[in-house]
Amino acid sequence: MREISYAQALDEAVAEEMRRDERVITLGTDFTGNPIKEFGPARVRYTPISESVLTGMGLGAAACGYRPIVNWRMVTFSFVAMDQIVNQASKIRYMFGGQADFPVTYRCGVGGGMGSAAQHSQSPYSMWMHVAGLKIILPATPADAKGLLKSAIRDNNPVVSFECSRLNAVVGPVPDGDHTVPLGIAEVRRSGTDVTVVGLAYYVQEALAVADELVGEGISVEVIDPRTLVPLDVETIRASVRKTGRLVIVDEAPPTCSAASEIAALVVEDRATFRALKAAVQRVCAAPVPVPYSPPLEKAALPDRAGIIAAIRRVIDF
Amino acid sequence: MVTNTPDLIGLLRKMILIREFDELAIRLRKAGKIYGVVHPYVGQEAMAVGVCANLTNADRVTSTHRGHGHCIAKGADIKRMMAELFGRVDGYCKGKGGSMHIADFAVGMLGANGIVGGGLPMATGAALAAQLDGKGNIAVCFFGDGAVAEGEFHEALNISSVWKLPIVFVCENNQYAANNAVGVQHQVTDVALHAKSYGMPGLTVDGNDVLAVCEAARAAVERARRGEGPFLLEGKTYRWHGHAVRATPPPETRPAAEIAQWKERDPIAHLAADLIARRLLSESELGSLHRQVQADLQEAVAFADASPFPDPKDILVDMFAAPA
């Protein structure tokens, strides 16, 4: 199996899907490499910095038979297109009674830890989860980056691809051939018996590192990577919690109304899972501040291994 | 295919149908037969009809919150429109959309829109699709003068011009954005002047003269079909009713004399008188045209009234498309 970076895996996904289906087109202010060379200027569109019109154009072209990939680059810029995302993309299929499909993929970088400061370090997963009608992928490995993005491009709905900036350079094995990962299926990254840790994006690898660290203390950690937030594979998470009786969720968004909150609610709402809980559910999230620039402040704002370990100890010692 | 010789009676009939549909919708709203909000198109009929006379089902349009006229002009079925206003399963959106979200993708009507300016990006995307298809089809984007203050207007015109997209931007300048006059919202009140900033041709026409609208639109549409890029067409027009009809509509704030003056320039009466003067239509033919429209509307209401309400258990249906 080849080892490639998360960023390369994402590029491969787009290129393979453009090769596979000539209706796939891509719009963005910039691209890595030179995709025009292979796919031509009709299908690879360098655009003005006009996020709102690009977001809506994706819907219009999708309604007319194409499968556009609109690259917002950073999730930050998607907020400029709020009307097209919230009022149009998420509602258009339902409010028109399912007359048409809108197979459009919106790509963007998310997350902090890159010294990019407040605006460019955001992880607004739950904002788009809250807006019913968008599917959301959140890959944590190069293999999933490729497989989930390919599935997103083939999906007949608007899909938001949250691509974790801190993972771009991470290298990992990616299966050869037409590697796809279905939306809505979580992955148990590591089996354990004492506590379930649900990690999002960058925090999957951090949870795995913590799990290694705690082996010496005799604490067995199960690590779950949801991989897609909409649809969310809540049953895999609940089944794990029924087994371990303890749940820690690690999410680099601030805790209020976060994906972590939603996962916690879905777990405790379920009767059998609630009864299996041996400790209160713990969230390890960002500080409720805009992510600051200065390294010690940024570090303090984001979750870290020490915070994950502390949360695990709280549920073990409950 | 462009209609080279407009079917004049057909234009008149469509304008009457649009007017009577919305007058009926207002009565039904006041009677509580339909819900929510209706934004009547009455007074602006020449715009939708004049432009859409040049389009086929393969051409796509986007519309506004004031969208009934665009639907009818583009060829939507008034029975299914009425059923949608009634909130019934046989409506275009199975009762999920209502007045502000009627769409008929089969005839290239990509939807009304509750957000001012919200349809501009989608129309631009439809134009991109038409350009990639390379079959000479185009997109038309209807919007009001209010949308010109939105960023999406400027983004859409710029990118359309840069990419030479086959799109005609049609501004229905009805002089008011909701309840505020165009002059207090825009420094430049002739919307077509914005075309120059984006390197495309623009033209202002009398939006109450359906033949003038049709002629101007034909040139713009043909130009787009030839791959020569976008066009900004502005029609000066006026809505006869308030911005919105709802349970408790706000009081009319526009000057009575202004409303009366524009009613003197009724696009339907203007065309009818013209056709009668040219002996292309008789008074009795005009009467039977009106009677036929009323009969069609009665049929639409009967269809809507007979259609069941949606079943609440279907609340989640249509959220997501089935897997490819």
Given a cut of 50, is residue A54 above it in pLDDT?
A: yes
Measured between CB atoms, does A98 come within 8 Å of chain B? yes
Q: Catalogue the active-site residues of A.
A: 120
A93 → closest Cβ in B62, B125, B318:
B318
Per domain, the residue ranges of chain B are 8-306
Given a cut of 60, is residue B14 above it in pLDDT?
A: yes
What is the pLDDT averaged over residues B153-165? 98
Specify which residues A172 forms β-bridges with.
A4
Given a cut of 90, is residue B322 above it in pLDDT?
A: no
Chain B residues inside the 8 Å CB shell of A42: 132
Pick from A85, A138, A127: nearest CA to A254: A127
C-beta separation of A250 from A198 below 8 A: yes
Interface of B with A in 82-121 (CB under 8 A): 91-97, 101, 103-105, 110-111, 113-115, 117-118, 120-121
Are B152 and A53 an interchain contact pair (Cβ–Cβ within 8 Å)? yes
Which pLDDT tens digit goes with each residue over B287-318? Answer: 999 999 999 999 999 999 999 999 999 999 99
Chain A residues inside the 8 Å CB shell of B121: 52-57, 59-60, 84, 88
Q: Which fold has domain A187-316?
A: Rossmann fold (3.40.50)
Q: How far is A63 from chain B (nearest CA, A)?
A: 7
Q: CA–CA separation, B130 vs B110, rounded Å?
A: 14
Domains A2-174 and A187-316 share a fold: yes
Catalogue the E-assigned strands of chain B. Answer: 60-62, 139-144, 167-173, 176-177, 180-181, 202-206, 231-236
3-state secondary structure of A24: strand
Chain B residues inside the 8 Å CB shell of A135: 320
3-state secondary structure of B181: strand
Q: How far is B127 from chain A (nearest CA, A)?
A: 8
Q: Which fold has domain B8-306?
A: Rossmann fold (3.40.50)
Quick one: pLDDT band at residue B324, thresholds 50, 70, 90? low
Interface of B with A in 189-248 (CB under 8 A): none
Q: CA–CA separation, A182 vs B212, rounded Å?
A: 55
What is the pLDDT averaged over residues A264-288? 98
pLDDT at residue B271 in the model: 96
What is the pLDDT averaged over residues A205-217? 98
pLDDT at residue B5 in the model: 41
3-state secondary structure A136-199: EECCCCHHHHHHHHHHHHHCCCCEEEEEEHHHCCCEEEECCCCCCCCCCCCEEEECCCCEEEEE
Dihedral sign computed on CA atoms, order B305, B110, B137, A68: negative
Which pLDDT tens digit goes with each residue over B99-153? Answer: 999 999 999 999 999 999 999 999 999 999 999 999 999 999 999 999 999 999 9
B318 → closest Cβ in A50, A52, A98:
A98
Specify which residues B173 forms β-bridges with.
B236
A57 → closest Cβ in B113, B121, B321:
B121
3-state secondary structure A236-262: HHHHHHHHHCCEEEECCCCCCCCHHHH
Residue A272, CA distances (Å) to A20, A22, A136, A248 in order = 45, 48, 27, 18
Quick one: pLDDT band at residue A174, thresholds 50, 70, 90? very high
Given a cut of 80, is residue B4 above it in pLDDT?
A: no
CA angle B114, A87, A58 (to 5 degrees): 110
pLDDT at residue B154 in the model: 98
CA angle B38, B93, B121 (to 5 degrees): 75
Per domain, the residue ranges of chain A are 2-174, 187-316
Quick one: pLDDT band at residue A36, thresholds 50, 70, 90? very high
In this structure, whether the domain defined by A2-174 belongs to CATH 3.40.50.970 is answered with yes
Q: CA–CA separation, B310 vs A64, rounded Å?
A: 28
Given a cut of 50, is residue B22 above it in pLDDT?
A: yes
Chain A residues inside the 8 Å CB shell of B101: 95-96
A99 → closest Cβ in B60, B103, B129:
B103
pLDDT at residue B6 in the model: 54
Spacing of C-alpha B31 from chain mean position: 25
Structure letter (DSSP) for residue A87: I
Quick one: pLDDT band at residue A190, thresholds 50, 70, 90? very high
What is the pLDDT averaged over residues A65-69? 98
Interface confidence, given as ipTM, is 0.96
Q: In what order do the strands lie in the sheet with A187-190?
A: A187-190, A221-225, A195-199, A247-250, A282-284
Are A52 and B114 an interchain contact pair (Cβ–Cβ within 8 Å)? no
3-state secondary structure of B143: strand
B114: Cα within 13 Å, side-chain hemisphere: 16
Are B323 and A61 an interchain contact pair (Cβ–Cβ within 8 Å)? no
Neighbours of A171 (CB within 10 A): 14
Q: How far apart are the first and last CA of chain A?
A: 43
Dihedral sign computed on CA atoms, order B215, B221, B224, B229: positive
CA angle B184, B116, B82 (to 5 degrees): 125
Quick one: pLDDT band at residue B247, thresholds 50, 70, 90? confident
Interface of B with A in 131-160 (CB under 8 A): 132-133, 139, 151-152, 155-156, 158-159
pLDDT at residue B323 in the model: 74
Q: CA–CA separation, A12 vs A147, rounded Å?
A: 10
Are B321 and A93 an interchain contact pair (Cβ–Cβ within 8 Å)? yes
Considering chain B, what percentage of its residues have pLDDT values greater than 90?
Answer: 94
Q: What is the mean pLDDT of chain B?
A: 95
